[in-house]
Chain A
Amino acid sequence: ILNVEQSPQSLHVQEGDSTNFTCSFPSSNFYALHWYRWETAKSPEALFVMTLNGDEKKKGRISATLNTKEGYSYLYIKGSQPEDSATYLCAWDNAGNMLTFGGGTRLMVKP
């Protein structure tokens, strides 16, 4: 049973639009929440690893927030560009580092 959920499953936006998607996870036994970006034909790469409730991390136009009490994280992309097209994966880390991944959100940015 997959208890890390990502929504939406896929998303089409126009270049320049800002967008966000959600990862929900168990709030018990929480240690960290990971976000990875997986571009076609490339390796998934870590965007953020977040541990603290209320934490917000930023990398260029991409930012993420974390709510460990209610078990969700948001990933925001400001002014989407075609190169942002990728699958975004979140993973719940319970400190054994046996990550449980969500199903991913596939983002397509149209020029």
Chain B
Amino acid sequence: DVKVTQSSRYLVKRTGEKVFLECVQDMDHENMFWYRQDPGLGLRLIYFSYDVKMKEKGDIPEGYSVSREKKERFSLILESASTNQTSMYLCASIRHRVGGEKLFFGSGTQLSVL
């Protein structure tokens, strides 16, 4: 069974901490994405990567950075966590960025910043 795995289901951090969210996929997909989900707002794209060491900003990149050192792993970094980054974070992957291909998602990380 193909899988996208996120390292933590729940995470509680303090304001100002550096936070790493890890995502690993076992499908040899080129493209990986980080979204956040807030009630009523839909999934919003933070960053995506179309190849190792390549990254592009999504719709809401402020306060975040990413790292893709290996094809299977895509990390989201909150340099200095703030309370407005409390959210559900979803990682996703897709083999090719052509229209009509479905995304494969991880099960999400609920991050609370206190």
Contact = CB atoms under 8 A, between A and B. Distances in A.
Interface of A: 2, 4, 6, 9, 31-32, 34, 36, 41-46, 49, 51, 89, 91, 93-104
Nearest to B43: A101
Contacts of B104: 43
Contacts of A89: 42-43
A103 B98 CA distance: 23
Given A43-B108, A96-B97, A34 B42 contact: no
Contacts of B9: 41
Contacts of B90: 44
A43 B88 CA distance: 12
Contacts of A43: 4, 104-108
| Chain A interface, >50% SS class | loop
Closest 3 pairs (CB-CB, A-B): A95-B99, A31-B99, A46-B102
A75 to B, nearest CB: 15
Interface of B: 4, 9, 31, 35, 40-45, 48, 90, 94, 96-108
A104 B88 CA distance: 14
B101 A97 contact: yes
B68 to A, nearest CB: 17
